[in-house]
Chain A
C-alpha cells in the first residue's frame, strides 16, 4: 500500500488533472456559459497546459515547495479568470505548507491540502454553500482526513467521492459569489463550474494514489 506520495506522484497528479480539464474543456465551458462568462474550460485547460509545458522544459524540481511554487505562479499568469488566483493560491500555499521535502506522507499531504483550502478561502472569501469550488474542496478534505487511518489510497478515494458529491450538491444552490451571483435565483439548476473542476482535481489524485 502507498504510504507516501513522491515528487513523481505529485507531478503525475498534475498531469492527470491537466488531462481531465482538457478532455472536459467544452463541458466546463458549457457549465460556465450557463451561469458565468463561458471561459472556465478554456482557462483551466490553458492554465494546466502551461503548467505541464513548463514542468517539461525546466529542470525537475527537487522539493515539493519548489514544484508547487512554479505550478502556482504559472496558473496565476496563464489562467486569466478567477480560477487563476484561486487555484494559484491553492497550489502556492500547498507548496509552502509541504516545505522543502521530496515526498509527503498522509498527514503531510493532508496539511498541505488544508493550507491550500485556507488560501482559497482567504482569496475568494466564499463560504460553504455559496456555490463555488469551496463546496467540493472543503468536503473533500474532510473526507480525506476521516479516511486517512485506512491509508492514503482510501483517503484519496474518499476525497474524490466527497468532492463529486459536493459538486453535485451545487446544482440546487443559488450563487452568492462571483459572476454567477449576478443571476441570483436563476443560478440554481446548474452545476458550479469551479466545483466541477475541483472534483477533477481529486479524481486525478485518487487515480494517482490508488
Chain B
C-alpha cells in the first residue's frame, strides 16, 4: 500500500480531515502521517516535519502528499530536498484537501498504485460539481469513466437502490472495492438520469452518478470475474449496503 502524508497549517484541520476519510475505510488502512503546524501551537508548516512524515510512511509503493494551501506547498517541495532515499517515489497532488484525501485514502486502502490514487484524488471534486450542476467541461481532472459499454460478450444487471442514502460515499466505496478486487472491467450507469457509464472501481466516479434511493443503476461487466462480481454487487444493493 502507498503511504499518505497530510500537510496542513493546522493540526486540528489535518486530524479532522483524516478522521473523516477513515470513516470510509472499514478494513486495512494505508500508512498515514500528518505534518501540521509549525510547533508550539504556531499555525504554519515546517519542511523538516514534512520530510520526517514522508520518511515515516515510505515504502517501495511510494508516497502521496496532500497539502492545504500556501506555504504547505513550498514546505513540501523543500522537504523533498531533505528526503534521504533518492529512489523513493513521492507525488504531490493538487487534489482538493478534504474530498481528495477521502477519495485517495479509500482508493489506497484497496491497494491501488500511486498513480491511480493520485488520479482518483485529483478528480475528487467531480461528485460535488455534478451535484451542484457545474459545467462538466470546465471541470479539470475528472477521471474519465466509460471504458466498457455493455457488450454482447459481457454481463449486466439492473438494480434498484433501496438504501436511504443512495450511491453516496460509503456505498460507492463498497462497490469500488469489490470492482477493484475482481478480474473484470465494469461500469455503472444511472438509468433515471442517464448519467454514466462510469468506472465501477472509482468511488468518486460512482458518486458522480448522483444515484438516489429508488433509482435504478445498470452494472455492466466483462471478464472472467464478471459473474461473481455482479452477484456481489447485487447482494450489496439488496442488503442496502448495510443501511437497512
Which residues of A are at the interface with B, using a C-beta cutoff of 8 A? 39, 43, 46, 73, 76-82, 84-86, 88-89, 123-124, 178-179
For residue A43, give the distance in angstroms from its CB to the closest CB of chain B: 7
Query: Counting chain A CB atoms within 10 Å of each CB, which of B39, B46, B78 scores highest?
Result: B78
For residue B46, give the distance in angstroms from its CB to the closest CB of chain A: 5
Contact A77 B39 (CB under 8 A): yes
Query: Counting chain B CB atoms within 10 Å of each CB, which of A46, A123, A179 scores highest?
Result: A123
Stretch at the interface among B69-77, B133-141, B199-207: B69-77
Contact B70 A76 (CB under 8 A): no
For residue A176, give the distance in angstroms from its CB to the closest CB of chain B: 14
For residue A60, give the distance in angstroms from its CB to the closest CB of chain B: 23
Provide the bound-state CA to CA distance between A84 and B78, in Å: 10
**In the complex, what residues of B have CB within 8 A of residue A80's CB?**
38, 42-46, 71
Contact A39 B78 (CB under 8 A): no
Q: Please give me the 7 A-B residue pairs with the lowest Cβ-Cβ distance, nearest first.
A: A80-B44, A80-B38, A82-B71, A85-B74, A77-B48, A85-B78, A76-B47
Contact B44 A77 (CB under 8 A): no
**In the complex, what residues of B have CB within 8 A of residue A77's CB?**
38-39, 46-49
Q: Knowing that A77-B48, A77-B49 touch, tell me 12 more A-B residue pairs with CB under 8 angstroms.
A: A73-B48, A77-B39, A77-B47, A78-B38, A79-B44, A80-B38, A80-B45, A82-B71, A84-B46, A84-B71, A88-B78, A124-B74
For residue B118, give the distance in angstroms from its CB to the closest CB of chain A: 21
Question: Among residues 38 to 80 in chain B, which have CB atoms less than 8 Å away from a CB atom of chain A?
Answer: 38-39, 42-49, 70-71, 74-75, 77-78
Of all chain B residues, the one with the shortest Cβ separation from A179 is: B70
Provide the bound-state CA to CA distance between A43 and B47, in Å: 15
Known A-B contacts A76-B75, A179-B70; the reply to A39 vs B39 at CB < 8 A is no
**In the complex, what residues of A have CB within 8 A of residue B42's CB?**
46, 80
Contact A89 B78 (CB under 8 A): yes
**In the complex, what residues of A have CB within 8 A of residue B78's CB?**
76, 85, 88-89, 123
Provide the bound-state CA to CA distance between A90 and B38, in Å: 19
Contact B70 A178 (CB under 8 A): yes
Select which of B43, B44, B77 is within 8 A of A84 by beta carbon. B44
Query: Counting chain B CB atoms within 10 Å of each CB, which of A39, A73, A81, A89 scores highest?
Result: A81
Provide the bound-state CA to CA distance between A178 and B71, in Å: 8
**In the complex, what residues of B have CB within 8 A of residue A81's CB?**
44, 70-71
Contact B46 A76 (CB under 8 A): yes
**In the complex, what residues of A have CB within 8 A of residue B44's CB?**
39, 43, 79-81, 84
Contact A84 B45 (CB under 8 A): yes
Query: Counting chain A CB atoms within 10 Å of each CB, which of B39, B43, B70 scores highest?
Result: B70
For residue B117, give the distance in angstroms from its CB to the closest CB of chain A: 25
Of all chain A residues, the one with the shortest Cβ separation from B38 is: A80
Contact A76 B48 (CB under 8 A): yes
Of all chain A residues, the one with the shortest Cβ separation from B71 is: A82
Provide the bound-state CA to CA distance between A114 and B42, in Å: 31
**In the complex, what residues of B have CB within 8 A of residue A76's CB?**
46-48, 75, 78
Provide the bound-state CA to CA distance between A88 and B46, in Å: 11
A-B contact pairs, 12 of them (CB 8 A): A39-B43, A43-B44, A73-B48, A77-B39, A80-B46, A81-B44, A82-B74, A84-B38, A84-B75, A88-B78, A123-B77, A123-B78
For residue A164, give the distance in angstroms from its CB to the closest CB of chain B: 25
Provide the bound-state CA to CA distance between A99 and B203, in Å: 52
Provide the bound-state CA to CA distance between A88 and B81, in Å: 12
For residue B45, give the distance in angstroms from its CB to the closest CB of chain A: 7
